[in-house]
Amino acid sequence: MVISVGNIHLGGTGKTPIVIQLANYLKMRKCAVLSRGYKSQSTQLGAQLDRTSKNGPGQFGDEPWLISHLTNCDVYVGAKRWDLIKKFDLVSGYQILFLDDGFQHVQLERSIDVLVLPGDDNPWETAGVPLGSLREGLCSIRRASLILITCSNPHSDWVQDWKTIASHLAEGVPSFVGVRKAISVLNEHGEKLTADQRRYGAFCAIGRPERFFEDLGQWAPPDFFKTYRDHHAYSKADIEALIKLAKERSLEFFVTTEKDFYKVNEIFKEQGFPLKVAHTEYELPSAFWEALEVRIQKAC
């Protein structure tokens, strides 16, 4: 069985956290995740992710590396997902194959297509690349079998507008709202930190850094915030510059996203400067899980 999770926008809709939550929800079944591994060394050749790799994010991609650390799934990386399936005989080895960012990967048939839409964005101001962030037209929504609208405020007008658009373009396809939970900041042992008065900095290299900044502001506003381009390959010099600035400003630690944490944690350890990780997930309604189970049963 193939379950695709994807979007029609250029990143930042919460797709990767949703993949992780789905994989953990279905962990009693034998699952694997197939990811393109954007900008990774394995994108063209195809490979099974090796968690012992010393250059994991660079070799396999930052999002596959994150998924491998936050789920028990085997992760396979390659631009041509069908070639991955044949190369590693994945059909006979797993009950469920997740296609990470698979909505446009129409060459591969799937049993369930979960489409993630950005409920925090104004749907009436969307435009195709390069004028906007749409990968393809809104009419493509009709290809979905389940629609998930992710947001911070489920009662906003934009969420309701997305639901209306989805109901018109994909009649009969159920849509659900996934609400982004309040951010949790964890130490290296996975323990939650309290939002006290300590001075700290934050940085990230994600699709929508403003969302990370807003989430941190609800926890405790950072004294310094630095952004890099999405999928940025951090160098040791990048981290040394951050730490130098932190010491000049008397910052006690840095906070970054989970995707970035697994790319830079070892460098921070080498430099002896504290790094914390911000955990984000979505509260998904029980009706979504019920609808997912129904479709899984039908596909079996």
User: Where does the pLDDT of residue 300 fall: very low under 50, low under 70, confident under 90, or very high at 90 and above?
Assistant: confident
Task: For residues 190 and 133, give the distance between their C-alpha atoms in angstroms, rounded to a whole number.
Answer: 34
152 secondary structure, DSSP code: S
- Bridge partner list, 33: 75, 98
Identity at 295, one-letter amino acid code: R
pLDDT exceeds cutoff 90 at 10? no
Task: For residues 80 and 85, give the distance between their C-alpha atoms in angstroms, rounded to a whole number.
Answer: 9
Mean pLDDT of 11-36: 93
Strand 2-6 versus strand 224-227 pairing type: unpaired
pLDDT exceeds cutoff 80 at 263? yes
- 3-class DSSP assignment, residue 72: coil
User: 212-241 in b/e burial notation, b at 16+ Cβ within 10 A?
Assistant: beebbeebbebebbbeeebbbebeeebbee
Query: 25 with 7: CB under 8 angstroms?
Result: no
**pLDDT value for 11:** 77
Q: What is the pLDDT of residues 126-172, one digit of tens each?
A: 888 888 889 999 999 999 999 999 999 999 999 999 999 999 999 99
- Domains recognised in the chain with CATH numbers: 2-180+282-299 (3.40.50.300), 184-279 (3.40.50)
pLDDT exceeds cutoff 90 at 41? no
**pLDDT value for 38:** 81
Q: What's the helix, strand, coil split of the chain in %, to 5?
A: 35, 25, 40
Identity at 49, one-letter amino acid code: L
Measuring CA to CA, how many Å separate 6 from each of 101, 206, 229, 241? 4, 16, 21, 35
pLDDT exceeds cutoff 80 at 44? yes
pLDDT exceeds cutoff 80 at 281? yes
Question: How many degrees, rounded to 5, is the angle at CA 174 between CA 181 and CA 142?
Answer: 110
Mean pLDDT estimate for the chain: 93
Q: What is the pLDDT of residues 247-258, one digit of tens each?
A: 999 999 999 999
